Structure 1
Amino acid sequence: MSRARVLVLNSALGPLDYRVPHGMTVEPGSIVVAPLGPRQLVGVVWEPERMPSDAEVGDNRLRNLIAVADAPPLRDPLRRLVEWTADYYLAAPAAVVRMALSSTAALEGQKLVVEYRATGHVPDRLTPQRAQALERIGDRQGLIRELATIADVSDGVIRGLVKAGAIEGVEVDIDSLYPLPDPDHAPPALSAEQAAAADALVADVAAHAFHPTLLDGVTGSGKTEVYFEAVAEAIRQGRQCLVLLPEIALTEPFLKRFHDRFGCEPVAWHSGLRSSQRRRAWRAIASGQAAVTVGARSALFLPYADLGLIVVDEAHETSFKQEDGVHYHARDVAVMRGKFEGCPVILASATPAIETRQQVALGNYAELRLPGRYGVAELPTIEAIDLLEQKPDRGRWLAPSLVKAIGETFERGEQSLLFLNRRGYAPLTLCRTCGHRFQCPNCTAWMVEHRLTRRLACHHCGHVEPVPRACPECGDEESLVACGPGVERIADEVAALFPEARVAVVTSDTIWSPAKAAEFVNRMEAGDIDIVVGTQLVTKGYHFPNLTLVGVVDADLGLEGGDLRAAERTFQQIRQVSGRAGRGEKPGHVYIQTHSPKAQVMQALVTGDAETFYAAETEARRDAGAPPFGRYAAIIVSSEDQPAAHEIARLIGRAAPEVEGMHVYGPAPAPLAMLRGRHRYRLLVHARRTLDVQDVIRGWLGALDWPAKVRVSVDVDPYSFL
């Protein structure tokens, strides 16, 4: 190639043409460094016919490419996925490619780094901190910062030990190889139902063909052990596997289960990795050395050399939907990656989304069911507590029957879990004298009180401020009152009721990394926690045999807000958290506190009749033409200048095309009318399933202009309507 079309990592630019200098070899997918004015940008060489340029430039005007990165080219299936994702979600191709090249350090080629280890020499001056460091480091090896963290000392202590000769530096390749999982390390004893499902999945892997399958099993049925057999088959064939998890906090428990089965940990990919760890993982994945990768949704776009299996665990989870940048849904993109790679895709869930169930009904996905729990474990009994009849004591939030059940569970030496999907102490703080309510200065949202940190925090933009002693409006002291419960308030109530119980609060405020999640799991397994009070972070993935009681503090909370998926999401969430109870030999019990015990979703949870609930929800969606029987797309207009945002929103609304089978609603102020200092308006496009709504929106918005201070984004298949 003497001329190359390059997609540079700048979403504001389209593809650019460059000259390939003599002696340089590039091909479609090559990662290159290209000049742009005085700057140098990373880009990917693309097929010209698949990535048209706005303006053709003569050969004599082209600038030379600077270099080719020391990394394998992006393979054809990944390039096709980039094109599909950009087209379907109306995103800039460069923004999608950026997710594939998410570690710029990985493009620098082989790299050596100095790590440190103990020499066995004991220095003459042995301070308590130095002694602690040498004892805790043991035979470990790592960077100075890593060893300081392990030893719980400052970097200076480690450097002092280096000068004293007690620790020495060794040069190592930063891209050292990962251990390879052994597919025959510890095969499980599967039940007949599990073995049948595993055999079907293993056959799909052996067939080397695209085949999406819903693995639908109740909580505790052993879905992970079943799809591990498909992972084992892919490893035997020398092919790579990807397992997607919805939460970073689930990564650590998964790594432990994987290690028990395969003898080593898989390659982890999530936002908590250091730059050097991301580099090592990226290069191992691109070279094919990483056999199994487990990660959050961003792992979906990594450049796998030979992908043989994709697993989406907890596939119903809404956190697989990306709400910033490229608005993709990892579950759906995973299926498309499987199609382009020609490999099977497993969607594992105890509460599959209606969209997935519809694909099964249409025959597009296969289905494997695991209707019972593994071994002697049985599904928990579920009981609704009518809060209109069983009112909690004044100033309390737990009904008497739930309190009694917690006490009995504690006396038996068993563990309890109280679920409330609301972080902090209270969702609203107001002044009882003048009625002033504390609102975020950047968002249309109340400030949430966090008593553990003594702060008021906005859960949308991250703004924090100390809790004032007096009302800023009227100056009255001792007049501020917390309204409503959060998990911290429930934890205080539990501590007052059961002062001898050991209580743990589990939210994203307390479990913010895989290491914190591992610490929580170890404490639960060791019996160091009696009662857990947590948010949706504890509703999935955890297996605690001694946890026998689950209490849902406010089952009605998820039904607020008018979301079309509210009932389905509530059912999934409560069904998942109920599944934490009774996973061992001891029976489990679940109490659901609600003001509407006769509501369809509550009846379905108590009776366990999921099929009737899903059938009614599906029929309601069909009648409304809502997904999966119709299509939605949201257009969000935002600006720091409110009149400008309003005017452009009205302009877009007036320019809406008349298309048969499509309706446009709005513009209207978004429920979160201001977010992170930007005023927001929304339009909702509702179209029939067969309409190419992306093409309509592309032509509609492409004919309009708006000032740079106004931002217009499109969310295809939205999950958030805020």
Structure 2
Amino acid sequence: MSDAPALFLDGNSTRVRCLIFNAALGPLDYRVPAGMTVEPGSVVIAPLGPRQIIGVVWDADRLPATEVPEGRLRPLLKVLPVPPLPAPLRRLIEWTADYYLAPLAAVARMALSSNAALQGGSTVTEYRLTGKEPGRLTPQRLIALDLLQDQQATIRELSEIAGVSDAVLRGMVNAGLLEPVVVDSDRPYPAADPHFAAPDLSEQQAEVAARFVASVRAREFHPFLLDGVTGSGKTETYFEGVAAALEAGRQVLVLLPEIALTETFLKRFEARFGVPPVTWHSSLKSSERRRAWRSVSSGAAQVVVGARSALFLPFADLGLIVVDEAHEISFKQDDGVRYNARDVAVMRAHFEKIPVILASATPALESLQMAEAGRYERVVLPARFGGATMPHIQVVDLRVEQPERGHWIAPPLVRALKDRLEKGEQSLLFLNRRGYAPLTLCRTCGYRFQCPNCSAWLVEHRLSRRLACHHCGHEVPPPDACPECHEPDCLVACGPGVERIADEVAEILPHARVALVTSDTLTSPAKAAEFVEMASNKAIDVIVGTQLVTKGYHFPELTLVGVIDADMGLEGGDLRAAERTYQQVAQVAGRAGRGEKPGEVLIQTRHPEAPVIEALASGDRDAFYEAEAEARRDAGAPPFGRWAAIIVSSEDEAEARDAARGIGGSAPRLDDVLILGPAPAPLSLLRGRYRYRLLINARRSTELQRVIREWLDPLRFPPGVRVAVDIDPYSFV
């Protein structure tokens, strides 16, 4: 509940200010009718013209005043049956909108992320298989029977799972193959037990865990940077902080960067606390989102594990926030409200007055700098748990050890793969490029397949027989002949993707069991869990994967990691390229040798003298970060300076260009601000919109948001032009 007084009505009119979920409107004032009670944070239905719209009653003194006379105010229609958004969450919404230059209502909408949850308690009818012996079955019913084992959901959700129509399933209900089950939408989740399976911690782990427990019990804001090498048991230590929060009857939020990591984490959580936590991510069914949201807002959900959007859930009594793999760039949202969940998590902990733990084996330079400045407390786990050792790292110079023509795996890595297969051990090959090949062209005329909606090549996906754009999702089947010169059978794949590497492994090791792990193959938590089970049971010999395999997985028999192209991340205009490459390769290297057997990592590169490659080979992380920090300091780049981007787009190229030039022409002239551009974005056409960018570099002390507001607010653009501001950008395409 809010800490602000409720506004009661006893026959007199009361004026309240509401955030209305309409992108074109700011806050509006309404009248509270007789008999209705509202307070700041109350979720209401308000009239807007002839329509009814959801809004949130806000603290009137924190929003701009309106000038509508009292007599013209329209009454609120209804208070929705959910707890008001708590004051700490309202302050977080205000801070996020202010810092990231986003509309306040757009941020507030993220807290009300389940419309069904706002309608109050109810029951829902779900369906499950009866186990009745079927008679003659149509092919579609056979498919449904196979795919719906152990499933219980609504007809619509079951039809999506089985890939059949609602009519097929309703026919199965009439035939007695499916039965209805009435379920309470708000049924409680099983309770986690903080004492269920207390771990046997090492001395170092116990010291770190004790710091977390003490901070949770103190109920004060305290940011921690948990800096531990891969395999050091970071999860076990922060689980003790989770246990302390559970003992105190308070809620916990754990943020993960990838849905694919969720199932692995859930098993570890259940082993420690006896039950799985509540999950929150985009793959949830609508009924699951509704139940989770209402459970969080009532305080019944003890621990929530979710993607970045879980950060804005309306927790009733939050006691601890954990951001796992806190360096991951997927915590930064690149559309809509362009926030960084890592940084917003720290601010939520600040407003809630609770500890927050940022856990990583390769922390972001910004986080390390905050620790050095004394803003975060850095706690270190320098050794692997249980006596396991860090893997031996070897650099393979591709200029000397060249792969066979048309191949991508160099001879030393081929020999290592064969050796591991003979020993019955597992190997992992990493290449952060989905599909079979990044470019397909005609060997006769040189025609290249390009996306019609984006300035990007179409990527060949041989397994699914499609050419796909990884930016907008456009897909076409590979043609039999060149569209330009009409020559048949002339298309050639250029460069490797993971599918091509998997084919090469099958050629080198014809008897090996190969698993391909990308966002194309692990499309749900269930598929991720299936992969983990197969790898853990040694049903896989070689894993070939993208960045999905660089974090979170623990396979004791995996002793070899091969990085196919360590130079790929250093290409292009990414200003954090070296740091990202270091983090990615160090994380994937950390998958090797996590059990009793020693691990080995082979890094293929054409630039062994590059500082980031030398740092990986020597294991000297501190030297790399010091050099990177010095380079950033000289360039005025984060964390020593500020960056922001202004992205201008339109379906009309001339309109986008003119708008960008108009912004550039009105740019402020300030000593502590450097403005670059406008220029066409590296990805100058995206989803059918032409894009121009301006990059702003400012000193740390600059009030950057104020500068940008005063610059852009007076400007007006044609209806087809969009102007987006990205504070602390991570993407430069």
TM-score, structure 1 length as denominator? 0.97
Other-structure match for 1:38 = 50
Other-structure match for 2:472 = 461
Other-structure match for 1:70 = 81
1:536 correspondence with 2:536: no
Other-structure match for 2:653 = 642
1:594 correspondence with 2:605: yes
1:86-105 aligned at under 5 Å gives the runs 86-105=97-116
Pairing partner for 2:265 from 254, 262, 265? 254
Deviation at 1:143, TM superposition (A): 3.5
Pairing partner for 1:470 from 481, 495, 510? 481
1:29-178 aligned at under 5 Å gives the runs 29-53=41-65, 55-116=66-127, 122=132, 125=135, 141-144=152-155, 159-160=170-171, 162-165=173-176, 168-178=179-189
What is the distance in 1 between the residues matched to 2:226 and 2:248?
A: 22
1:219 correspondence with 2:230: yes
Other-structure match for 1:681 = 692
Pairing partner for 1:186 from 170, 183, 197? 197
Q: Secondary structure at the match of 1:555?
A: coil
Deviation at 1:44, TM superposition (A): 0.4
Pairing partner for 1:395 from 395, 401, 406? 406
CA contact (8 A) 1:123 1:164 kept: no
Deviation at 1:161, TM superposition (A): 5.4
The alpha-carbon distance between structure 1 residues 589 and 30, as it changes in their structure 2 partners (threshold 3 A), is: same
Structure 2 unaligned residues grouped into runs of 5+: 1-6, 8-13
Deviation at 1:523, TM superposition (A): 1.1
1:440 correspondence with 2:451: yes
The alpha-carbon distance between structure 1 residues 501 and 461, as it changes in their structure 2 partners (threshold 3 A), is: same
Other-structure match for 1:573 = 584
What is the distance in 1 between the residues matched to 2:570 and 2:174?
A: 62
What is the distance in 2 between the residues matched to 1:428 and 1:381?
A: 34
Greater mean deviation of Cα atoms: 109-118 or 395-404: 109-118
1:660 correspondence with 2:671: yes
Deviation at 1:125, TM superposition (A): 4.6
What is the distance in 2 between the residues matched to 1:288 and 1:100?
A: 15
> 2:325 is aligned with what amino acid?
E
Other-structure match for 1:332 = 343
What is the distance in 2 between the residues matched to 1:63 and 1:262?
A: 51
1:522 correspondence with 2:533: yes
Other-structure match for 1:505 = 516
Other-structure match for 1:367 = 378
Deviation at 1:10, TM superposition (A): 1.7
Other-structure match for 2:3 = none
Other-structure match for 1:691 = 702
TM-score, structure 2 length as denominator? 0.95
> 2:370 is aligned with what amino acid?
Q
What is the distance in 1 between the residues matched to 2:157 and 2:103?
A: 38
The alpha-carbon distance between structure 1 residues 15 and 591, as it changes in their structure 2 partners (threshold 3 A), is: same
Other-structure match for 2:215 = 204
What is the distance in 1 between the residues matched to 2:159 and 2:218?
A: 49
Deviation at 1:377, TM superposition (A): 1.3
What is the distance in 2 between the residues matched to 1:345 and 1:468?
A: 53
> 2:45 is aligned with what amino acid?
V
Greater mean deviation of Cα atoms: 387-396 or 477-486: 477-486
> 1:535 is aligned with what amino acid?
T
Deviation at 1:141, TM superposition (A): 4.9
Other-structure match for 2:281 = 270
Deviation at 1:134, TM superposition (A): 8.2
The percentage of aligned residue pairs carrying the same residue is 66
> 1:42 is aligned with what amino acid?
I
Partner deviation per Cα, 1:329-381 (whole Å, 9 max, x = no partner)? 00000000000000000000000011000000100000110000000311111
CA contact (8 A) 2:512 2:542 kept: yes
Partner deviation per Cα, 1:482-518 (whole Å, 9 max, x = no partner)? 1100001101111111111111111111111111111
What is the distance in 2 between the residues matched to 1:696 and 1:127?
A: 68
Other-structure match for 2:11 = none
Structure 1 unaligned residues grouped into runs of 5+: none
Greater mean deviation of Cα atoms: 186-195 or 152-161: 152-161
What is the distance in 2 between the residues matched to 1:662 and 1:447?
A: 38
What is the distance in 1 between the residues matched to 2:474 and 2:658?
A: 28
1:376-415 aligned at under 5 Å gives the runs 376-415=387-426
Q: Secondary structure at the match of 1:375?
A: helix
1:8 correspondence with 2:20: yes
Partner deviation per Cα, 1:166-201 (whole Å, 9 max, x = no partner)? 654332211211111100001110000000000011
> 2:33 is aligned with what amino acid?
P
Partner deviation per Cα, 1:97-154 (whole Å, 9 max, x = no partner)? 111011011001011112345667x569576998998899788754446667889987
CA contact (8 A) 1:123 1:165 kept: no
What is the distance in 2 between the residues matched to 1:667 and 1:439?
A: 25
The alpha-carbon distance between structure 1 residues 307 and 445, as it changes in their structure 2 partners (threshold 3 A), is: same
The alpha-carbon distance between structure 1 residues 613 and 139, as it changes in their structure 2 partners (threshold 3 A), is: closer
Partner deviation per Cα, 1:23-64 (whole Å, 9 max, x = no partner)? 1111000000111111111110011110114x4101111111
Other-structure match for 2:718 = 707
Partner deviation per Cα, 1:609-661 (whole Å, 9 max, x = no partner)? 00000001001111111101000110111101111111111111110112221
CA contact (8 A) 1:11 1:93 kept: no
1:21 correspondence with 2:21: no
Q: Secondary structure at the match of 1:492?
A: helix
Other-structure match for 1:549 = 560
Q: Secondary structure at the match of 2:601?
A: strand
The alpha-carbon distance between structure 1 residues 15 and 124, as it changes in their structure 2 partners (threshold 3 A), is: closer
CA contact (8 A) 1:234 1:308 kept: yes
CA contact (8 A) 1:123 1:161 kept: no
The alpha-carbon distance between structure 1 residues 520 and 361, as it changes in their structure 2 partners (threshold 3 A), is: same
Deviation at 1:559, TM superposition (A): 0.3
The alpha-carbon distance between structure 1 residues 412 and 707, as it changes in their structure 2 partners (threshold 3 A), is: same
CA contact (8 A) 2:134 2:177 kept: no
Greater mean deviation of Cα atoms: 301-310 or 135-144: 135-144
Deviation at 1:256, TM superposition (A): 0.8
Q: Secondary structure at the match of 2:385?
A: coil
> 1:23 is aligned with what amino acid?
G
Q: Secondary structure at the match of 1:712?
A: strand
What is the distance in 1 between the residues matched to 2:149 and 2:439?
A: 49
What is the distance in 1 between the residues matched to 2:54 and 2:134?
A: 51
Deviation at 1:163, TM superposition (A): 3.4
The alpha-carbon distance between structure 1 residues 128 and 666, as it changes in their structure 2 partners (threshold 3 A), is: closer
What is the distance in 2 between the residues matched to 1:102 and 1:355?
A: 30
> 2:24 is aligned with what amino acid?
A
CA contact (8 A) 1:409 1:549 kept: yes
The alpha-carbon distance between structure 1 residues 127 and 719, as it changes in their structure 2 partners (threshold 3 A), is: closer
1:347 correspondence with 2:358: yes
CA contact (8 A) 2:651 2:720 kept: yes
> 1:235 is aligned with what amino acid?
L
1:630 correspondence with 2:646: no
The alpha-carbon distance between structure 1 residues 226 and 155, as it changes in their structure 2 partners (threshold 3 A), is: same
What is the distance in 1 between the residues matched to 2:726 and 2:599?
A: 41
CA contact (8 A) 1:450 1:456 kept: yes
What is the distance in 2 between the residues matched to 1:260 and 1:403?
A: 38
Greater mean deviation of Cα atoms: 217-226 or 107-116: 107-116
What is the distance in 1 between the residues matched to 2:589 and 2:150?
A: 43
> 1:382 is aligned with what amino acid?
I
What is the distance in 2 between the residues matched to 1:647 and 1:524?
A: 54
The alpha-carbon distance between structure 1 residues 592 and 76, as it changes in their structure 2 partners (threshold 3 A), is: same
Q: Secondary structure at the match of 1:668?
A: strand
Q: Secondary structure at the match of 1:475?
A: coil
Greater mean deviation of Cα atoms: 140-149 or 639-648: 140-149
